[in-house]
Structure 1
Amino acid sequence: MDINALVIIIVIGAIAGWLAGMLMKGGYSLIGNIVIGIIGAFIGGFVFSFFNITTSGIIGSIVTATVGAILLILLLRVIKK
Structure 2
Amino acid sequence: MNVDTRALIVFAIVGIIAGFLASILLGGGGGILRYLITGIVGAFVGGYLFDALKINLGIDNRFLSEVVTATAGAVIVVLLARLIA
Query: TM-score scaled by structure 1?
Result: 0.93
Shift of 1:54: 2.6
Matches within 5 A, 1:1-80: 2-55=4-57, 57-80=62-85
Matches of 2:48 and 2:24, distance apart in 1: 23
Aligned partner of 1:40: which letter? G
Matches of 1:14 and 1:24, distance apart in 2: 15
Unaligned runs of 5+ in 2: none
User: How much identity, in percent, do the aligned residues show?
Assistant: 39
For residue 5 of structure 1, give the secondary structure of its aligned residue in structure 2: helix
Cα distance per residue 1:26-56 (max 9 Å; x no partner): 1111011001000000000111112101346
Unaligned runs of 5+ in 1: none
For residue 34 of structure 2, give the secondary structure of its aligned residue in structure 1: helix
Q: How many equivalent residue pairs?
A: 80
The alignment's C-alpha RMSD in Å is 1.2
